[in-house]
């Protein structure tokens, strides 16, 4: 079984989140993407403190897909420097993790 990951990505709108999520799932780079509305982000950008309302994507994938997933997000994302942070999943339901593994395999490997 591949090493499962959770990837966090913030986006400026629900529409952007849906567009990115659909593309990641369609291409088997992610098994599932949750879109969490109404997060407030406070950050420093180009020397100024900013505060923006955003949407948070919680992406379930595997380590073997991470580099391609990052490239795809960077291509689709509207931010100059999108937040893309990957964390390991250290445990969980075996049935769910098996499903995640199956859904992130490229079409030719199923």
What domains does the chain contain, in order, with CATH numbers? 4-109 (3.30.70.120)
- Distance between first and last Cα of the chain: 13
pTM of the model: 0.94
Contact 61, 87 (CB under 8 A): no
Pairing of strands 48-62, 84-88: unpaired
Mean pLDDT of 18-26: 98
d(CA 94, CA 57): 23
Percent of the chain exceeding pLDDT 90 equals 94
* Residue 53: CB atoms within 10 Å: 11
Question: Average of pLDDT values for 20-42?
Answer: 97
pLDDT score for 110: 58
- What mean pLDDT do residues 5-18 have? 98
């Amino acid at each position: 079984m591949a090493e499962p990951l959770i990837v966090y990505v913030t986006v400026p709108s629900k529409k952007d989140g849906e567009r990115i999520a659909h593309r990641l799932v369609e291409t088997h780079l992610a098994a599932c993407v949750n879109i969490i509305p109404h997060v407030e982000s406070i950050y420093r950008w180009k020397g100024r403190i900013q505060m923006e309302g955003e949407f948070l994507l919680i992406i379930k994938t595997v380590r073997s897909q991470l580099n391609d997933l990052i490239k795809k997000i960077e291509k689709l994302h509207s931010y100059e420097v999108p937040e893309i942070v990957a964390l390991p999943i250290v445990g969980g339901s075996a049935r769910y993790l098996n499903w995640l593994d199956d859904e992130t395999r490229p079409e030719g490997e199923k």
